[in-house]
Amino acid sequence: TLVLSDGTGLELEINGEKTVLGSPGDMARFDGEASVLSRLGRGKIRDFNVMTRRGVFQNHVEVREDSAFHVDSTRSELESGLSANLLFLLETQEVFANGSAKGLQRHDAIFIEAGDMGVRHTGKAVHIRLRSTGM
């Protein structure tokens, strides 16, 4: 999964199909074996990528803005490493987890620990959920 984190106008051609990522938070999903061509539209960009080994882990990537969510992994899944949740910030914001606030900068990431089952943030962020396929 490729998420545009800075800039505008990234054009991708994935297996012959055109996809335009026009603003931060836009994303494209494709297999590692895909034929991918890219063109910059209006200057430099920065992207954030999530790659997982097929058959070992699954990932779910979602862009959220000013949201609260409950981590759907169990405490034992998080503690054993069978599941992980991360939040990658697309802008400077406050993140509230386990009853405390953390002021974080754009492009910071926070690992959501087993005790942080409820999370709230005040800006645009990418929520990444990884789960072992052995579950």
**pLDDT at position 120:** 85
Measured in whole angstroms, the distance separating CA 100 from the mean position of its chain's CA atoms is 22
What is the phi/psi pair of residue 77, to 5°?
A: -65, -40
**pLDDT at position 47:** 94
Measured in whole angstroms, the distance separating CA 25 from the mean position of its chain's CA atoms is 9
Which tokens belong to 104? 């974080």
Bin 75: left if φ > 0, else alpha if -120 < ψ < 50, else beta: alpha
Helices (H) and strands (E) in the chain, counts: 1, 14
**Tens of pLDDT, residue by residue, the chain (135 residues):** 999 999 888 999 999 999 999 999 999 999 999 999 999 987 899 999 999 999 888 899 999 998 877 676 666 776 676 788 889 999 999 888 877 778 889 999 988 876 666 788 899 999 998 888 875
Which tokens belong to 121? 């943030």
Q: Which residue is it, tokens 């993140």?
A: 95
